[in-house]
Structure 1
Amino acid sequence: MMKRIALIYMGGTFGCIGEPLSPMPAEQFLPKLKHLLPVHFEIECFTAPAIRDSSACTASDWLLLLQQIQQLQLQQYRHFVIIHGTDTLSYAGAVLARFMAQTAHVVLTGSQYPLLNVQGADSREFTDAIDNLNFALESAASAPAGVYLAFHQQLIHASSALKMHTTALDAFAGTPAAEPLAHDPHPLIVHEQHIEKARSFNCISLMLQPAAPALLLANLQAIAERPPHALIIQGFGTGNLAVNPAIIELLQALQQRGCAIIITTQVPFGGVDQRYAVSQWIQDAKILVSHCHSHADLYAKALKMHLQYDAAGQWQMHWQD
């Protein structure tokens, strides 16, 4: 039976033309794209609510995309392919994975080179766009329910995706789709109030550099002048950082002012390990510890917590859900 796939175009290098590259308007690009689609799928093309350079995407853009997907699910679509720019492709995938759980078959893809030539009249002589798209379509039709990233003949769990190279065709790494990966089991139906609340979501990620604790304290004091909703501290190694009583007191004060404090590691793979004595203060101060699959996944979890709970104390209660 022919699989019915909703193909949603959200912009990115995939749909760019000209020199220097600039996006072709979606109403002109999609008809050209349709001529290159395989005929063994029933593919319906849609324009995403927000089409932009992916480096300009924010949480509300991905929630609008989620809302579109969830509306299409009501029309009995179960298989989706999303064309998205590569700069924040991992973030888009992580947000979709956190909010959709395993309610559909969703595959995100993009490209390092445009689909069309400079004039936009024909397919480009050298491009990874058509291969990535065909692989994404095949994956959406055959992979188990979940959210994945398809790129350079690799299918990985979207929540684990990490962009490893700025320009190479083999640009992403992550946990292969064939390997089991724990997922958020609680989908969230996106409503207008979620989208509106997401517009003001302020999440700061502080990647520590070797510096004296006094300097870290000064940086945290600057952040404390206007606390964000979430402060992600990227520690060293397994999530370690050197602190003093003044730093701990300031972090606790930030929590009391509604800022969730989350400890993670700046190391791409391996995760956080709190077995060292130097990290005992994290437990004592009730700092949240990340066990997410990637930095983008941690961002997605923080966003979801922000939309579900108004107080940082509620994050403590539900962090392990």
Structure 2
Amino acid sequence: MRICIITTGGTIGSTGHPLSPMPAARFAQAVHDLLGGALAAALPGDRLHVDDGLRFSDDGPGTLDSTDLRPSDWCRIAGRVLDLYDDHDAFVILHGTDTMDYTGAALPLLLNVFDDMGIARAALSKPVILTGAQLPLFRDTDGGLVLNAGSDALANLTGALEAARLRLPEVAVFFDGRLLRGARALKVSTTRFAGFDSPHLGPLATRGIGIHPGAVPPLPGPAAPDRALDAAPARALVRAQLEAVARVIDDQRVAQIAAVPSDHRASDPLMARMVRDALAAGATGLLLEGFGPGNIPAGDGAMASALTQAQVPVMIASRVIGGQVGAFDYAAGAWIGATGAVAAGDMTPVAALAKLMILTAMAPHHGWDRATLSALLARSLAGECAAGDRLTGALWPGQALQAADGPLRLENDHDHGPRLTDGARLLWQAPGPGLLRMQGDRLALIAHDGAVLWSSAPAPGAVAVLTAHPPALRLIDPAGRARPVTALAG
């Protein structure tokens, strides 16, 4: 297996007092000289290449502390992966921990191309694993560089390299023995070696005596060979999208505003004033961190007025580490849905910020209007949130799907079975209770005794997606063709 190690800087590749990143070429030489034999023995049969071609500036070492990474640097990292894609089977990116979770959320969006329904037209087909360390890999001494024996860096580096052998086709973060989905990772500690966690999704794999796959299934990867980045046309789609985003992403000014306890009865509540000030200063998007499930003080209507008048995309996330924003069921937040703000679901605020910034930057390239952009912000594109608008397994009694582009809802009632509703209007009722799932090449309603109560026309390899425009549950096949499930169409 051919594995490419790309260094961007960060603590893992830093030396000196105060710590600063080594030039990539010096780091690559140190890995060769001090670790080459050990890595070759630990990874028999693998060929490792430590790349030193990524530079963030022409001055100094060319690498950066991740504190200084800009959104356009996400594009540089993605571009380097594309440059080297044909020559390697996996990529391990060494990155500073301060913003590793932002890069982990950004790269999946930059290395895939999605259509208006959130289906990948060009898809990452090889592992891209970010790792770093709380302490440097090497230490400067009077006799030159030596391995920093007390660091977590070597374990993280070798763990990421071992995890690459799983060939999971997605962006991940490896830290302290766990492989986490990149868009779900969150930095949680500056002092413990367990510096990252994934509050809503278990690990993709864990490391002990060997690498052990986790209970969470990996992303499926390309639906067909012509959609994989191995294919030149698919890679060209990603390259064109990346170039368009890189030109404008540093101009994106997403204001992240956290709800705080304040006097919402004041004539001009603090949070509403902060929103208006951000918009007046040229914010291109708003990310609001609400309490609990996304609740925000209404401010006697001031917040609703400010958000309704906003001409930019607005997302609502939860400030709670394990928080989730859904249908705004509480009276304290029930008014939010009418403003047009997008609920972030179980996305971390880090992932929501990266997604809002990147999708807004790429919208002109794809010709997405505001409604399409809002729907894509709500949909799970690369596993950054739960896929609430599509069947990923089975729809069991008590579960529901919610369209990303409107109020359409498919709920599996305990007593009556699945029903499709548009607000208070019933569009379709199943012939009886059961679970809804893909069975072979068609969607089927299965009774408790295994009997098939209803099934759709065949659609091999399709994904079932609920859409409000038009109101239907649609089967989308690997070629991107969509057909409504007739019985469930509105």
TM-score by length of structure 2 reads 0.61
Moved more, 28-37 or 148-157: 28-37
Moved more, 184-193 or 30-39: 184-193
Distance in 1 between the 2:139 and 2:32 partners?
16
Matched, 1:44 2:49: yes
Distance in 2 between the 1:317 and 1:112 partners?
38
Q: SS at 1:117's partner residue?
A: strand
Moved more, 22-31 or 311-320: 311-320
Distance in 1 between the 2:335 and 2:282 partners?
21
Q: 1:181 to 1:43 in 2, by over 3 A?
A: closer
Q: 1:208 to 1:30 in 2, by over 3 A?
A: same
Q: Deviations over 1:259-294 (max 9, x none)?
A: 211111100114113222333322212111112532
Q: 1:252 to 1:183 in 2, by over 3 A?
A: farther
Moved more, 83-92 or 302-311: 302-311
Contact 1:238 1:265 in 2 (8 A): yes
Distance in 1 between the 2:189 and 2:286 partners?
26
Contact 2:272 2:303 in 1 (8 A): yes
Question: Equivalent residues in 2 for 1:216-235 (5 A)?
Answer: 216-235=271-290
Q: Deviations over 1:113-158 (max 9, x none)?
A: 1111133521113111111100000001124221111111111111
What is the one-letter code of the residue matched to 1:19? H
Question: Residue 308 of structure 2 aligns with which residue?
Answer: 252
Q: SS at 1:44's partner residue?
A: strand
Question: Residue 24 of structure 1 aligns with which residue?
Answer: 22
Question: Equivalent residues in 2 for 1:203-242 (5 A)?
Answer: 203-213=254-264, 214-242=269-297
Q: Deviations over 1:57-91 (max 9, x none)?
A: 11100111101112222x24231100000000111
Q: Deviations over 1:86-125 (max 9, x none)?
A: 0001111111123335422111100111111133521113
Q: 1:217 to 1:299 in 2, by over 3 A?
A: closer
Moved more, 269-278 or 37-46: 269-278
Q: 1:167 to 1:63 in 2, by over 3 A?
A: same
Moved more, 170-179 or 100-109: 100-109
Matched, 1:83 2:94: yes
Q: 1:142 to 1:180 in 2, by over 3 A?
A: closer
Q: Deviations over 1:178-199 (max 9, x none)?
A: 2137799899714333211112
Give the RMSD, CA atoms, in angstroms: 2.2
Distance in 2 between the 1:264 and 1:160 partners?
14
Contact 2:292 2:323 in 1 (8 A): no
Question: Residue 170 of structure 1 aligns with which residue?
Answer: 194
Matched, 1:189 2:238: yes
What is the one-letter code of the residue matched to 2:248? K
Q: SS at 2:149's partner residue?
A: coil
Question: Residue 181 of structure 2 aligns with which residue?
Answer: 157
Question: Residue 59 of structure 1 aligns with which residue?
Answer: 71
Structure having the higher strand fraction is: 2
Q: 1:309 to 1:158 in 2, by over 3 A?
A: same
Question: Residue 377 of structure 2 aligns with which residue?
Answer: 319
Q: Residue 339 of structure 2 is aligned with which of 266, 273, 285?
A: 285
Question: Equivalent residues in 2 for 1:91-170 (5 A)?
Answer: 91-100=102-111, 102-119=124-141, 120-170=144-194
Q: 1:183 to 1:250 in 2, by over 3 A?
A: farther
Q: SS at 2:84's partner residue?
A: helix
Structure label with greater radius of gyration: 2
Q: SS at 2:335's partner residue?
A: helix
Question: Residue 2 of structure 2 aligns with which residue?
Answer: 4
Structure with the bigger RCO (C-alpha within 8 Å, sep 6+) is 1
Contact 2:90 2:167 in 1 (8 A): no
Contact 1:81 1:106 in 2 (8 A): yes
Distance in 2 between the 1:306 and 1:153 partners?
35
Distance in 2 between the 1:302 and 1:280 partners?
23
Distance in 2 between the 1:309 and 1:96 partners?
17
User: 1:317 Cα deviation (Å)?
Assistant: 4.5
User: 1:164 Cα deviation (Å)?
Assistant: 0.9
Q: Deviations over 1:37-64 (max 9, x none)?
A: 4112201111323221101111100111
Distance in 1 between the 2:219 and 2:29 partners?
39
Q: SS at 1:267's partner residue?
A: coil
What is the one-letter code of the residue matched to 2:288? I
Structure having the higher helix fraction is: 1
Q: Deviations over 1:9-38 (max 9, x none)?
A: 000011111222122222222101123141
Distance in 2 between the 1:212 and 1:166 partners?
34
Question: Equivalent residues in 2 for 1:268-279 (5 A)?
Answer: 268-273=321-326, 274-279=328-333
Distance in 2 between the 1:184 and 1:301 partners?
20
Moved more, 169-178 or 183-192: 183-192
Moved more, 181-190 or 241-250: 181-190
Q: 1:80 to 1:252 in 2, by over 3 A?
A: same
Distance in 2 between the 1:205 and 1:288 partners?
14
- Which structure 1 segments of 5+ residues have no match? none
Contact 1:13 1:114 in 2 (8 A): yes
User: 1:303 Cα deviation (Å)?
Assistant: 2.5
Contact 1:19 1:118 in 2 (8 A): no
Matched, 1:71 2:83: yes
Q: 1:280 to 1:307 in 2, by over 3 A?
A: same
